[in-house]
């Protein structure tokens, strides 16, 4: 075994390019303290034991929960580095897990044991269910709103809407924008100039105004919202595809294919498209995150998906009037959206490092 990979007990990695500044024993202590202390603090802070600590101020619970999450992260990070080495990226894997959980929850929402989250007529006659506070041991872990609708169920169904809209918009953007960009980058000349002028014109137009204009004249359905958002993403994908096509068109394998007499269609679909696709797909996660925020903003302003279909944006809008007294109506969907956007950006950055090294952060 090379010397630079030897692990000396309690001293970390020695004489190598990658060294663990902490010893094994210290990492193990961090795992125990972080996981045990973090779990205990989070459980108390999230009111798993609220029946016995009702006298504790809510502000203290928030601080306790935040501190517990930090401790838990430190413990998990130490456990990961202890198991897989100092290069293990805990934040990345937590982001992947979160994205997978959100995606599966959205896809399987109809089969999950969720309380009523869409039909107010099924709950409005029971006044005792309105505005219940979060209680992880109850049938409404994140509480209920003014219509007695379950907040957790609303978040799950809102994730379905956000992912449907954003993923469909990105798919349309990649298909349309990527195709136009590859054609422009391959043929160049006047066609490239004309497409460049069109792309610059769309990018110069204020995106929020364009989005509001499209949303105001289209039916407010997930499909139409996806089309409206795709219009904003198409110019970006045109530019990405065009630049990458111009780079790969000068590579040896493309020049060799030309010299062998391959047709333009074969060069585009067999040589260029497979190579251009990876850098484009590496941006998909980041664009999806951006479009989730855009869709939520439209719903918040009343120009997006309307009730009875819950979305993160219209849930935040519905709870903003009572934010000072019932903050969980805003915080619950807001935190879910923040974590999802953050996780998608983290996964997107890693995808760029793997699939588009030229654009990765140094």
Per-residue pLDDT tens over the stretch 102-150: 999 999 988 888 887 777 777 665 555 777 777 777 778 888 888 888 8
Residue 354 burial (C-beta neighbours within 10 Å; 0-12, 13-18, 19+): exposed
Residues 84 and 168 in one domain: no
What residues are paired with 12 via a beta bridge?
8
Residues 201 and 287 in one domain: yes
Q: What are phi and psi of 144, to 5 degrees?
A: -130, 165
Residues 307 and 177 in one domain: yes
**360's tokens:** 């990765």
Own/partner contacts of 98-102, CB < 8 Å, gap of 24 or more, are 98/339, 98/340, 98/343, 99/340, 99/343, 99/344, 99/347, 102/159, 102/163, 102/336, 102/340, 102/343
Q: Is 266 part of a structural domain of the chain?
A: yes
180 pLDDT more than 70: yes
Residues 160 and 81 in one domain: no
40 pLDDT more than 90: no
Please give the Cα distance from 176 to 237 (Å, whole number).
8
Residues 219 and 71 in one domain: no
Residues 182 and 255 in one domain: yes
Residues 161 and 266 in one domain: yes
What are the DSSP E strand ranges found in the chain? 7-8, 12-13
Q: Is 294 part of a structural domain of the chain?
A: yes
> Residue 144 region, left (φ>0) first, then alpha (ψ -120 to 50), else beta?
beta
Provide the number of structural domains found in the chain: 2
Q: Give the per-residue pLDDT at 359.
A: 53
Q: Is 344 part of a structural domain of the chain?
A: yes
Contacts of 62 (CB under 8 A, 6+ apart): 45
Q: Which of 88, 108, 137 is the last residue of a domain?
A: 88
Please give the Cα distance from 77 to 193 (Å, whole number).
50
Residue 314 burial (C-beta neighbours within 10 Å; 0-12, 13-18, 19+): buried
Q: Using DSSP, state whether 354 is helix, strand or coil.
A: helix
154 touches 310 (CB < 8 A): yes
339 touches 98 (CB < 8 A): yes
Q: Is 162 part of a structural domain of the chain?
A: yes
280 pLDDT more than 80: yes
Residues 188 and 84 in one domain: no
Q: Which of 88, 121, 142 is the last residue of a domain?
A: 88
Please give the Cα distance from 118 to 52 (Å, whole number).
33
Candidate from 35-49, 138-152, 323-337 with smallest mean pLDDT: 35-49
Please give the Cα distance from 237 to 243 (Å, whole number).
10
Residue 282: C-alpha distances to residues 101, 156, 234, 279 (Å): 21, 26, 15, 5
**CATH code of residue 270:** 1.10.3720.10
The chain-wide mean pLDDT, for the chain, equals: 80
15 pLDDT more than 70: no
**30's tokens:** 């961090």
Read off the pLDDT band of 4 (50, 70, 90): very low
Residues 84 and 160 in one domain: no
Residue 24: C-alpha distances to residues 1, 32, 84 (Å): 19, 13, 12
Quick one: how far is CA 82 from the chain centroid?
A: 28
Residues 159 and 34 in one domain: no
Q: Is 144 part of a structural domain of the chain?
A: no
Please give the Cα distance from 28 to 65 (Å, whole number).
23
Q: Is 50 part of a structural domain of the chain?
A: yes
Alpha helices in 218-358 (DSSP H): 222-248, 252-259, 264-266, 273-282, 284-300, 312-319, 328-355
Residues 76 and 163 in one domain: no
Residue 357: C-alpha distances to residues 282, 349, 354 (Å): 10, 10, 6
CA angle 68, 69, 75 (to 5 degrees): 90
pLDDT digits (tens, 9 = 90+) for 212-235: 777 777 777 888 888 888 888 898
Provide the domain limits for residue 268.
151-359
End-to-end CA distance of the chain: 30
**246's tokens:** 């111009």
Q: Is 134 part of a structural domain of the chain?
A: no
Q: Which of 62, 88, 114 is the last residue of a domain?
A: 88
- CA-based Rg of the chain, rounded to a whole angstrom? 25
Residues 51 and 195 in one domain: no
Q: Is 129 part of a structural domain of the chain?
A: no
pLDDT digits (tens, 9 = 90+) for 84-103: 877 888 889 999 999 999 99
């Amino acid at each position: 075994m090379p010397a630079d990979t030897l692990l000396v007990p309690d001293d970390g990695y020695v004489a190598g390019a990658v060294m663990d500044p902490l010893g094994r024993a210290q990492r193990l202590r961090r795992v125990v303290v972080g996981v045990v202390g973090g779990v205990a603090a989070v459980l108390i802070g999230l009111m798993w034991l609220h029946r016995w600590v009702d006298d504790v101020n809510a502000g203290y619970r928030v601080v306790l929960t935040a501190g517990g999450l930090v401790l838990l992260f430190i413990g998990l990070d130490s456990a990961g580095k202890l198991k897989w080495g100092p290069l293990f990226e805990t934040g990345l894997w937590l982001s992947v897990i979160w994205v997978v959980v959100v995606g599966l929850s959205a896809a399987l929402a109809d089969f999950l044991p969720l309380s009523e989250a869409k039909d107010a007529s099924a709950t409005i006659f029971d006044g005792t269910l309105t505005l219940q506070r979060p209680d992880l041991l109850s049938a409404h872990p994140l509480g209920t709103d003014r219509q007695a609708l379950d907040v957790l169920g609303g978040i799950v169904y809102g994730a379905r809407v956000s992912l449907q809209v954003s993923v469909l918009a990105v798919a349309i953007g990649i298909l349309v924008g990527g195709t136009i960009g590859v054609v422009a980058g391959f043929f160049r000349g006047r066609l490239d100039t004309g497409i460049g002028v069109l792309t610059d014109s769309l990018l110069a137009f204020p995106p929020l105004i364009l989005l509001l204009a499209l949303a105001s004249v289209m039916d407010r359905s997930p499909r139409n919202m996806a089309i409206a958002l795709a219009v904003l993403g198409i110019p970006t994908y045109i530019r990405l595809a065009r630049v990458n096509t111009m780079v790969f068109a000068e590579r040896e394998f493309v020049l060799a294919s030309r010299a062998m007499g391959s047709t333009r269609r074969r060069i585009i679909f067999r040589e260029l498209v497979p190579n251009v696709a990876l850098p484009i797909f590496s941006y998909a996660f980041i664009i999806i995150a951006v479009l989730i925020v855009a869709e939520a903003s439209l719903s918040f302003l009343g120009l997006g998906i309307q009730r009875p279909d819950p979305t993160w944006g219209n849930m935040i809008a519905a709870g903003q009037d009572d934010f000072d007294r019932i903050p969980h109506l805003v915080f619950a969907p807001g935190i879910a959206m923040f974590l999802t956007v953050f996780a998608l950006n983290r996964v997107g950055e890693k995808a760029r490092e793997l699939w588009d090294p030229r654009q990765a952060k140094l």
